[in-house]
């Protein structure tokens, strides 16, 4: 970039810019004409702080006055409950690197596409000199209203009708730290083997007994893509178990789980797993917990830590005893009225090809029975025809804190929805015909292809998505939204539950899309049509493999970055010979150096005429690699023979660099 152009963008005289830059760490020289594009971009992004830094060196009092004026001009920044780090930086009008540095300073390690909550954003924003206010829009109010409705439904019973209920325990932690293996050990089953790659892909709800007392467990996926599902798991729980591997200590999802547990106000038990491994270090885990203000009980704090080995079964009895002990200390809250109509939360939901919509419900108050009429979001969703427990056994009644898979709903409710049983149904309140058809087929048309992007030459990755359950579909879409950016957007043109069908392939063909399936099969008809129409269909069992594939495809669509390096200029003094596609020229180097083996632009009256390659360079009839400023030389120029006396040759090289998606 020309220095004059940079000065124009910054609205400052070129001479003044050349004085300021060396003083703030950009030593480009007082007579520089051009500046590297990457350096120029850094200067533009941080210009206000660079200017303040320069003024502070000249006059500290004036710099302080400038800060006060800038702070007075800042308006309050409105933020939602959750915001992506990149969007947060844009709202503040600050460089992304500065915001990430401020987060790191406060112990939050978040990449540009990761979500942070309002409390974190408020602390960071205030520290950076901004006034942060919460979003009070209708969407935010609706979220609060939903949470408030559940509280009202759970707390409307008279105290005399309440009896103790089993505790609901959510198991959280980083991927591969042994959450599912812990439940596997507790239930004496082998759930891990059935999960792809040993990673939990769905929320599961299970119930066990200890000393005749039932305990309900909710297993939440640990992979980063399932943060939404983990949050939902915490919302319905009474106690949280945070699983930390003794050989790996605290990791990113561990910190995120701690945030969710704190925001949900749950009592927490830390299960230090894999203590039987040679590299296990329990003290390291406790030190890392203490650094996060979670001081273990044995060190004088309040954080309960139980050492276990889920694989060997060590410490499991002690962990169950501790759960019951914690439940007893909060027993005033662990009560329900089994005689009322059931109310609770949808834990999982999907459309089965043979049985239709299925949902796993956690009963949080009342008793659910076969034949009950179920309402979700003030809409009638159907009559329960059958219920099964977590082991597949038939149920006729499900008491408080019991997870039950129900059959008979007319549509698949969303994961996290609140359900309630009603005595009678107003037929006008039924789910709309469109909603029923959409969810019975498990298919939704989402967007039309953005024709404006196509006109601008922006390439996009168009997808048709199919997943087995709603929770996984939502998690995949959330992760794809994080990968998508303005240079190469991800367009999900359609989504659905169930196997990949012929219709999916036809929609992908019309939308120039790829069909992605997660834990689903491709019907024979769909395979045949895909081959005939040359539509790509991909199936995955592990979510990060799907996301890695998408990332590779997006990077292949990114336009490569061309990095130009200028060396110098030569004024043409003589034309010695013209050939069909070459010329032999004599001239004087007026700036920098002339080089052999590089490219050259032909400038006439400051306008570009042509471009070619410098094949050979001679000084005093001796071939050389470069000629310095002020010397005369001869050269062979390969390209259109259009060069004339008094033209300027500008020497440069170009490096094509493939772009990568920023994590």
Give the β-pairing of 304-307 and 268-273.
parallel
**Are 545 and 551 spatial neighbours (Cβ–Cβ below 8 Å)?**
no
Segment holding 542, helix H or strand E: none
Q: How confident is the model at residue 272 (pLDDT cuts 50, 70, 90)?
A: very high
DSSP-derived letter for residue 296 is B
Picking from 367, 288, 313, the residue whose alpha carbon sits closest to that of residue 107 is: 288
Structure-model confidence comparison of residues 157 and 507, the more confident one: 507
Q: How confident is the model at residue 159 (pLDDT cuts 50, 70, 90)?
A: low
**With 0-12 CB in 10 A as exposed, 13-18 as middle and 19+ as buried, what is 472?**
buried
Q: How confident is the model at residue 618 (pLDDT cuts 50, 70, 90)?
A: very high
Give the β-pairing of 461-467 and 514-518.
parallel
For residues 399-421, give the mean pLDDT.
Answer: 84
Q: How confident is the model at residue 16 (pLDDT cuts 50, 70, 90)?
A: confident
Host domain of residue 628: 561-657
Same domain? For 259 and 186 the reply is yes
The pLDDT assigned to 445 comes to 45
CA angle 627, 628, 629 (to 5 degrees): 130
Residue 26: phi and psi, rounded to 5, are -110, 90
State yes or no: pLDDT of 147 exceeds 60: no
- Max CA-CA distance within the chain? 108
The pLDDT assigned to 439 comes to 45
Same domain? For 59 and 107 the reply is no
Q: Which of residues 308, 333, 358 is at a domain's end? A: 333
Q: What percent of the chain has pLDDT over 90?
A: 24
State yes or no: pLDDT of 632 exceeds 90: yes
Q: Is the pTM of this model over 0.75?
A: no
Give the β-pairing of 304-307 and 648-657.
unpaired
Same domain? For 234 and 327 the reply is yes
Cα–Cα distance measured from residue 630 to residue 83, given in angstroms and rounded to the nearest whole number: 57
Q: What is the mean pLDDT of the chain?
A: 79
Counting the structural domains of the chain, the total is 6
| Secondary structure in 3-state letters for 186-198 | HHCCCCHHHCHHH
Cα–Cα distance measured from residue 401 to residue 416, given in angstroms and rounded to the nearest whole number: 16
Q: How confident is the model at residue 567 (pLDDT cuts 50, 70, 90)?
A: very high
For residues 466-472, give the mean pLDDT.
Answer: 76
For residues 504-524, give the mean pLDDT.
Answer: 88
Plot region of 158 (φ>0 → left; ψ -120 to 50 → alpha; else → beta): beta
Residues flagged as binding site for GTP: 173-180, 219-223, 273-276
Cα–Cα distance measured from residue 170 to residue 220, given in angstroms and rounded to the nearest whole number: 7
| Angle between helix 543-557 and 470-483 (nearest 10) | 30
The pLDDT assigned to 51 comes to 78
Q: Among 519-523, 557-561, 616-620, 658-662, which is the least confidently predicted range?
A: 658-662
* Residue 431 falls inside a structural domain: no
The pLDDT assigned to 370 comes to 92
Residue 262: phi and psi, rounded to 5, are -65, -45
Same domain? For 550 and 590 the reply is no
Cα–Cα distance measured from residue 341 to residue 343, given in angstroms and rounded to the nearest whole number: 7
DSSP letters spanning 476-504: HHHHHHHH--SSS-EEEEEEEESSB-HHH
For residues 434-452, give the mean pLDDT.
Answer: 44
For residues 235-239, give the mean pLDDT.
Answer: 80
State pLDDT tens for residues 73-110: 456 888 877 787 878 888 888 888 788 888 777 666 66
For residues 327-345, give the mean pLDDT.
Answer: 83
DSSP letters spanning 37-61: HHHHHHHHHTHHHHHHHHHHHH-HH
Q: What percent of the chain has pLDDT over 70?
A: 78
Please give the sequence-ordered ranges of beta strands (E in DSSP) within 174-267, or none if there are none. 204-210, 213-219, 239-245
Tokens representing 661 are: 């998606």
Cα–Cα distance measured from residue 194 to residue 183, given in angstroms and rounded to the nearest whole number: 13
How many residues in the chain?
663
Cα–Cα distance measured from residue 497 to residue 407, given in angstroms and rounded to the nearest whole number: 17
Same domain? For 116 and 183 the reply is no
**With 0-12 CB in 10 A as exposed, 13-18 as middle and 19+ as buried, what is 415?**
buried
The residues facing 568 across adjacent strands are 592, 651
**Are 602 and 575 spatial neighbours (Cβ–Cβ below 8 Å)?**
no
The pLDDT assigned to 451 comes to 46
Residue 360: phi and psi, rounded to 5, are -100, 120
SS3 397: strand
Same domain? For 303 and 354 the reply is no
Residues flagged as binding site: 173-180, 219-223, 273-276
State yes or no: pLDDT of 367 exceeds 50: yes
The pLDDT assigned to 441 comes to 42
Residue 247: other Cβ atoms inside 10 A: 16
* Residue 139 falls inside a structural domain: no
Cα–Cα distance measured from residue 482 to residue 543, given in angstroms and rounded to the nearest whole number: 14
* Residue 148 falls inside a structural domain: no
The pLDDT assigned to 113 comes to 62
Cα–Cα distance measured from residue 352 to residue 159, given in angstroms and rounded to the nearest whole number: 41
Q: Give the residue ranges of DSSP H helices in 128-178.
A: 138-154
Cα–Cα distance measured from residue 394 to residue 170, given in angstroms and rounded to the nearest whole number: 24
Q: Which of residues 304, 333, 362 is at a domain's end? A: 333
For residues 460-482, give the mean pLDDT.
Answer: 80
The pLDDT assigned to 196 comes to 53
* Residue 123 falls inside a structural domain: yes
Cα–Cα distance measured from residue 348 to residue 205, given in angstroms and rounded to the nearest whole number: 9
State pLDDT tens for residues 179-222: 878 887 887 644 445 555 544 445 467 788 888 888 988 876 54
For residues 43-67, give the mean pLDDT.
Answer: 67
For residues 287-307, give the mean pLDDT.
Answer: 91
* Residue 215 falls inside a structural domain: yes
Q: Which of residues 311, 333, 355 is at a domain's end? A: 333
Same domain? For 582 and 509 the reply is no
Q: How confident is the model at residue 150 (pLDDT cuts 50, 70, 90)?
A: low
Same domain? For 248 and 323 the reply is yes
Same domain? For 296 and 202 the reply is yes
Cα–Cα distance measured from residue 313 to residue 317, given in angstroms and rounded to the nearest whole number: 9
| Secondary structure in 3-state letters for 571-636 | EEEEEEEECCCEEEEEEEEEEEEEECCCEEEEEECCEEEEEEEEEEEEECCEECCEEECCCEEEEE
The pLDDT assigned to 331 comes to 59
Same domain? For 348 and 371 the reply is yes
The pLDDT assigned to 228 comes to 52
Structure-model confidence comparison of residues 72 and 21, the more confident one: 21
- The CATH number of residue 103's host domain is 1.10.10
Q: Among 27-41, 130-144, 204-218, 228-242, which is the least confidently predicted range?
A: 130-144
* Residue 570 falls inside a structural domain: yes
Q: How confident is the model at residue 8 (pLDDT cuts 50, 70, 90)?
A: confident
Q: How confident is the model at residue 7 (pLDDT cuts 50, 70, 90)?
A: confident
State pLDDT tens for residues 119-146: 678 878 877 878 888 765 544 454 555 5
Same domain? For 172 and 321 the reply is yes
Structure-model confidence comparison of residues 133 and 597, the more confident one: 597
For residues 49-57, give the mean pLDDT.
Answer: 75
* Residue 146 falls inside a structural domain: no
- The CATH number of residue 412's host domain is 2.40.30.10
**Are 597 and 614 spatial neighbours (Cβ–Cβ below 8 Å)?**
yes
Cα–Cα distance measured from residue 83 to residue 116, given in angstroms and rounded to the nearest whole number: 6
DSSP-derived letter for residue 34 is B
Same domain? For 183 and 283 the reply is yes
**Are 241 and 310 spatial neighbours (Cβ–Cβ below 8 Å)?**
no
Tokens representing 417 are: 């929805």
* Residue 432 falls inside a structural domain: no
Cα–Cα distance measured from residue 587 to residue 644, given in angstroms and rounded to the nearest whole number: 11
Segment holding 6, helix H or strand E: helix 3-10
């Amino acid at each position: 970039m020309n220095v004059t152009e940079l000065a124009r963008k910054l609205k400052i005289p070129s001479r003044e810019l050349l004085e300021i830059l060396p003083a703030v760490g950009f030593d480009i020289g007082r007579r520089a004409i051009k500046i590297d594009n990457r350096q120029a971009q850094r200067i533009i992004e941080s210009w206000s702080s660079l200017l303040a830094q320069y003024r502070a060196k000249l006059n500290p009092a004036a710099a302080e006055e400038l800060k006060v004026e800038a702070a007075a001009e800042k308006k309050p920044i409105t933020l939602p409950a959750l915001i992506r780090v990149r969007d947060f930086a844009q709202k503040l009008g600050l460089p992304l690197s500065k915001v990430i540095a401020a987060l790191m300073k406060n112990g939050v390690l978040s990449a540009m596409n990761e979500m942070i909550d309002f409390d974190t954003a408020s602390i960071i924003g205030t520290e950076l000199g901004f006034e942060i206010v919460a979003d009070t829009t209708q969407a935010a109010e609706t979220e609060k209203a939903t949470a408030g409705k559940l509280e009202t439904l759970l707390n409307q019973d008279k105290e005399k009708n309440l009896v103790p209920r089993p505790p609901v325990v959510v198991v959280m932690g980083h991927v591969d730290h042994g959450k599912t293996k812990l439940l596997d050990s507790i239930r004496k089953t082998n759930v891990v083997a059935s999960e792809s790659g040993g990673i939990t892909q769905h929320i599961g709800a299970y119930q066990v007994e200890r000393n005749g007392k039932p305990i309900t467990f909710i297993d939440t996926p640990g992979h980063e893509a399932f943060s939404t599902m983990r949050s939902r798991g915490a919302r319905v729980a009474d106690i949280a178990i945070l699983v930390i591997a003794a050989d790996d200590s605290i990791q990113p999802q561990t910190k995120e789980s701690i945030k969710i547990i704190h925001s949900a106000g749950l009592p927490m038990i830390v299960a230090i797993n894999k203590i039987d491994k040679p590299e296990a270090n329990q003290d390291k885990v406790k030190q890392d917990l203490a650094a996060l203000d979670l001081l273990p009980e044995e060190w004088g704090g309040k954080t309960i830590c139980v050492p276990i080995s889920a694989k060997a079964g060590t410490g499991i009895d002690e962990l169950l005893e501790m759960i019951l002990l914690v439940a007893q200390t909060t027993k005033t809250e662990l009560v329900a009225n089994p005689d009322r109509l059931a109310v609770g939360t949808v834990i999982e939901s999907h459309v089965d090809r043979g049985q239709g919509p299925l949902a796993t419900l956690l009963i949080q108050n009342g008793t659910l029975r076969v034949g009950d009429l179920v309402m979700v979001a003030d809409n009638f969703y159907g009559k329960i025809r059958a219920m099964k427990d977590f082991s597949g056994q038939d149920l006729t009644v499900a008491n408080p804190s019991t997870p039950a898979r129900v059959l008979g709903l007319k549509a698949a409710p969303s994961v996290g929805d609140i359900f309630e049983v009603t005595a009678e149904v107003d037929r006008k309140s039924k789910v709309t015909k469109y909603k029923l058809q959409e969810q019975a087929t498990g298919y939704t048309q989402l967007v039309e292809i953005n024709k404006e992007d196509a006109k601008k030459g922006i390439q996009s990755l168009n997808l048709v998505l199919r997943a087995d359950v709603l929770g996984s579909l939502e998690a995949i879409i959330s992760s794809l939204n994080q990968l998508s950016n303005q240079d190469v957007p991800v367009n999900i043109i359609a989504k659905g539950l169930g196997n990949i069908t012929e219709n999916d392939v036809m929609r992908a063909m019309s939308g120039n899309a790829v069909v992605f399936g997660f834990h689903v099969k491709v019907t024979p008809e769909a395979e045949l049509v895909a081959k005939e129409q040359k539509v790509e269909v991909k199936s995955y069992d592990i979510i990060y493999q799907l996301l890695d594939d998408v990332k590779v495809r997006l990077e292949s669509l990114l336009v490569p970055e061309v990095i130009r390096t200028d060396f110098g200029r030569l004024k043409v003094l003589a034309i010695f010979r013209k050939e069909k596609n070459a010329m032999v020229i004599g001239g004087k180097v007026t700036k920098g150096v002339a080089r052999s083996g590089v490219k050259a632009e032909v400038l006439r009256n400051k306008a570009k005429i042509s471009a070619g390659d410098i094949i050979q360079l001679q000084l005093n009839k001796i071939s050389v690699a470069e000629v310095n400023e002020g010397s005369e030389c001869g050269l062979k120029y390969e390209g259109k023979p259009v060069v004339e006396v008094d033209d300027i040759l500008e020497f440069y090289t170009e490096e094509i660099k493939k772009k990568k998606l920023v994590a």
